[in-house]
Structure 1
Amino acid sequence: MDSTLKKRKFNKDRQFLNSMMVGNENEVEEDGSEYPSDTSILLNRGSTKETVVLFQKESVWATAIQMFIPFLLAGFGMVAASLLLDKVQHWPVYQNVSEVYILVPALLGLKGNLEMTLCSRLSTHANLGHLDSKKQKTSLIVGNIALILCQAIVVGFLASLAAVVFGWIPKGIVNIQHALLLSASSIVTAFAASFVLGLVMVGVIIFSRHFHINPDNVATPIAAGLGDLTTLAVLSYFASLFYRTIDSHPWLTPTLIVLGLGLVPLWAYIASENKYTREVLFSGWSPVISAMIISSAGGLILDFTVSQFKGVAVFQLIINGVGGNLVAVQASRISTELHSQGEPGYLPETMQVCISPCSAFCDEKKTSHTGTAKMLMLMVVPGHLIFSYMISYLQAGHTSFTIIFMAVYLSAALLQVFLLLYIAQVLTLSMWRAGVDPDNSAIPYLTALGDLLGTMLLGIAFQFLYLIGDGDSDVGD
């Protein structure tokens, strides 16, 4: 069979399978056998075997159902993290080493940069059938875990340096003991949280694949929810521990810094020997480092805002978490569809880069993800109402839940998600057209922008409430 005939036969089989797959979980072939709802299907035509990669489009309702429970679970995790931050902000280490506040968005953003990017990469592999082989699955898992550990330690260390610099700017002095505490806390937190969360996310994606659930819809929300609580708990514990032993065990923090940085070459070697992560190891630093700097700027805003309004702390993780959560799902879904239609550099006609914000949500001729974007926007208000009610019921925070407060707060949350979803559409497609894989690059920028926008809009909201007389006695002393 010559190449032209093979190509025609391949396209014919692809068109037939696409017609059979639309809107159905399992469909029947002409001979009575079933095609599963997987996205990779092996065709046998005589002695020729061809793999047809399909992107199964889901209905908006199917996407909403798959997302809603993970979204709520992730939200409960963010509420728990917010309650934890509301408590630990009164600990001596937070009171006396205020630069720790700068580390909070940076390290929580690092979780988004690494774990959610890991989820996006593995979700694409799962949807393309690359996790069905045991050998390929093991190689993907080992390479990606080594990669995120390498990136976590390096970026965690750089985040601590950024916190020291941002802390030095207003004060003009650097406390060496505090700088060592920040570096050790950041490295240990980044390593421990990335290792635990990485394994959990791998399990979630394999579980989703086994039960024919699109991991793009469930993995990133779970990574966001578990990541906030785990990262904040580990950071607060070790920062407090190092602060208590700063005089009695002065050797502890520099030893941990040297040990953590000393492991970087090991993880880098393992990742470089793996064909699935080799390219990301060398090309994936710019997004996570840039995102860390953006998140650190958000941390500087948080440090200033918390000193003025204590009530900000309990809402900061929720508004940032929800925004990053939703935009990561959209970016992951767009990336998976792009991968199903070609290689980076080829942009389908149905997906345009330069569109207006209204087109991103309403014009299906210019983008095939308007339905998902609208559905994600519809989840913002119910989600925040549920999470705010939980905070109010537990009597946490320093803010009364008046009608004016909720109106201003929800307006800030809606504006944040609207901007993020539009930026996700433009950024993801721009990267793909430029030949850059958005699975490795888009989510770090989007989650970092989510942190920056969320913290900034929340600070503006609290300032506005204070000016109109709706503020509580949450003004810092």
Structure 2
Amino acid sequence: MDSRQNLLFDADAHNVDDSETSSDTIEMTGLEEIPVTPARRGSYGSAHYATGSHDSDEDSDIEDGGDQALLGSHSRTRGRERSQEGHPTHMFGQVKRIVIETAPTLLLTTTGLLFTGEILDQVSHWRAMSQIDELIMIIPVVLNLKGNLEMNLSARLGTAANMGDLDHPSKRRSIILGNLSLLQVQATIVSFVAACVAFLMSRIVSVTAGSEDGTAPPDNARRDLLHALYTRGIHKPKPHKPPIPLPPSGPAEFVMVAASAMCAACVSSVLLGSFMCTLVVVCRHFGLDPDNIAPPVAACLGDLVTLSLLGVIAELLAHVLNTPIPLIVVIILVAAAVGWAFVTHRNEHVKHLLKEGWSPLFVAMAISSGTGIVLDTFVERYSGFALLAVVIAGLPGGVSAIFVSRLSTALHAATAKASSLVSAVQDLNNDKEHPSPRLVMITLVIVSLPVEIIFLTAVHFLGWIHLPFIFIVLQVLFFLIAITISLTIARYTTTFLWKRGLDPDMYALPFQSALTDLVGQLLLVACYEVASLLGAQVALKHKH
């Protein structure tokens, strides 16, 4: 009998008395008696775990273990609960902890989104960006793909921390190094894909613009695609440049763009990946729940760091555009990725992740392109649209990322003893000691509302937007709708994936982030339209 079988046997023996109780309460009662963080029964990051000694129920446990212990399970130790093992944590204390840990994080990350827009505004005027349009077009693509990688990393590490996998030095070192090597492989691949997508979009825009007037497409025709893809906005409009035709990009430009994106993504992965690993470990050490902190920080810093590095590296490589140096950089990075893939494959905790989680990244990129079309259509029509898109899309995305990360951790922990889906939900709703999923969702909505109000107040006094009071009231109302929808999407997407044996830490966040952005932008459009019908003057921009 191996160690996992011993653990399984001990868990079943520990709950032998509970096996004689009713089927509706058997599993939750057993979970309440687990005093420590349970060891995971399977490879790190996988959604497939042993679910008890009842072989006949194995499939149904994996299928229906979904909502059990949703954010309030006794089978896990979150944050300060580590110091309260064996003692029930009161519902108010858990809700209070969610508020204390998430509110500052969301406020800082929302502010960080504005800095990202400011950096984008500056970088887009640099020499390299002016010479090669594909560098502008690659920005939203690489930020979308790279940001999802960082959020997936934070979710995986949050799960590992709350499951107790990071409490043992040797295992912690193996998991962290394995995830960092995996991140290098993923960053190299997605950045190269981003370069290919940027050049494909460049050709499409060139053909479209050329077919309209029979001439070469102007510089602005390609740059306008930036608005069609980048969904976080800038607080002030960029001046329109004169239509100066640029020569078509060739192989040299493609290699240079690929080298810039790959180098920026890899360096960003080292810096940000190390920071996120440190953040999760520090949170665990000081009794904070990394699920409440890491996901929005990863999304915000991922954009800031990657965009800054992309601008600097592209500016450097622009001086050696027609030399072999960019090609050498690409070859070195590809060779390094192969090496990192070999290292990752030898790590038992993450080797299976090499084949997982790719499809949601690219599906999310396609959804974000549709979101960008919404932004491009209305950014020049309504005053402050791009700026408000930050808060109505970015903030709900950060909140729902927290919810997905917490839910994923609860689902992994619930496999220690899974009950049926229906009975688990009933147990949670009747549990007076722990917050129900609905209460956690309400708590996150309440936490985000002051952040929204602070944001609107700040940008108003800074003079970035001047909108009627009726519109501000409507905007807050539509924001509440957006964040409610985003949390609902997060819950059902995560549960849907879990039922099908897909790890939410790898699959849920890209889908959730992209759908939240799309819903947020559409609701913002609806907000402007309703305000216009009520007589508010919001269409202050002149279309060019």
Is the structural similarity TM-score above 0.5?
yes
Q: CA deviation at 1:215?
A: 1.2
Q: Cα distance 1:100–1:382, how it changes in 2: closer, same or farther (>3 A)?
A: farther
Q: CA deviation at 1:209?
A: 0.7
Who wins on radius of gyration, i.e. which is larger? 2
Q: 2:456 aligns with which of 385, 388, 408?
A: 388
Matches within 5 A, 1:34-433: 37-38=81-82, 59-88=94-123, 102-172=137-207, 175-176=249-250, 179-242=254-317, 245=319, 249=322, 251-302=324-375, 306=379, 311-342=384-415, 348-350=421-423, 364=429, 368-396=436-464, 399-433=465-499
Aligned to 1:451: 517
SS of the equivalent of 1:118 reads helix
Q: 2:12 aligns with which of 7, 12, 16?
A: 7
Q: Cα distance 1:314–1:103, how it changes in 2: closer, same or farther (>3 A)?
A: farther
- State whether residues 119 and 308 of structure 2, in contact with CA within 8 Å, keep that contact through their aligned partners in structure 1: yes
Task: Structure 2: give runs of 5+ residues left out of the alignment.
Answer: 1-5, 18-29, 37-68, 70-79, 209-247
Whole-angstrom distance in 2 between the partners of 1:185 and 1:460 = 38
Whole-angstrom distance in 1 between the partners of 2:349 and 2:154 = 14
Q: CA deviation at 1:333?
A: 0.9
Q: CA deviation at 1:128?
A: 1.2
Q: CA deviation at 1:311?
A: 4.5
Report which stretch shifted further, 447-456 or 114-123.
447-456
Q: Which amino acid aligns with 1:413?
A: F
Q: Cα distance 1:6–1:393, how it changes in 2: closer, same or farther (>3 A)?
A: closer
Aligned to 2:41: none
Deviation string 1:94-117 (CA, Å, 9 cap, x unpaired) is: 677665565444333324311111
SS of the equivalent of 2:422 reads coil
Q: Percent identity?
A: 28
- State whether residues 132 and 249 of structure 2, in contact with CA within 8 Å, keep that contact through their aligned partners in structure 1: no
- State whether residues 82 and 316 of structure 1, in contact with CA within 8 Å, keep that contact through their aligned partners in structure 2: no
Whole-angstrom distance in 2 between the partners of 1:282 and 1:125 = 19
Whole-angstrom distance in 1 between the partners of 2:132 and 2:420 = 49
Aligned to 1:48: none
Deviation string 1:245-265 (CA, Å, 9 cap, x unpaired) is: 37x645454443333333221
Q: CA deviation at 1:443?
A: 1.0
Deviation string 1:317-345 (CA, Å, 9 cap, x unpaired) is: 44433122111111111111111111799
Q: CA deviation at 1:76?
A: 2.3
Task: Structure 1: give runs of 5+ residues left out of the alignment.
Answer: 23-35, 42-51, 353-358
Whole-angstrom distance in 2 between the partners of 1:153 and 1:167 = 21
Aligned to 1:470: 537
Q: Cα distance 1:234–1:154, how it changes in 2: closer, same or farther (>3 A)?
A: same
SS of the equivalent of 1:131 reads coil
Q: Which amino acid aligns with 2:481?
A: L
Whole-angstrom distance in 1 between the partners of 2:9 and 2:149 = 43
Q: CA deviation at 1:278?
A: 0.9
Whole-angstrom distance in 2 between the partners of 1:11 and 1:39 = 27
Aligned to 1:44: none
Q: Which amino acid aligns with 1:235?
A: L
Report which stretch shifted further, 370-379 or 136-145.
370-379
Q: Cα distance 1:224–1:167, how it changes in 2: closer, same or farther (>3 A)?
A: same
Q: Report the TM-score when normalising by structure 2.
A: 0.69
Deviation string 1:362-390 (CA, Å, 9 cap, x unpaired) is: x9479941111111222333212222333
Aligned to 1:32: none
Aligned to 2:58: none
2:501 aligned with 1:435: yes
Report how many residues are paired: 437
Report which stretch shifted further, 372-381 or 274-283.
372-381
Q: Cα distance 1:150–1:435, how it changes in 2: closer, same or farther (>3 A)?
A: same
SS of the equivalent of 1:245 reads helix
RMSD: 3.9
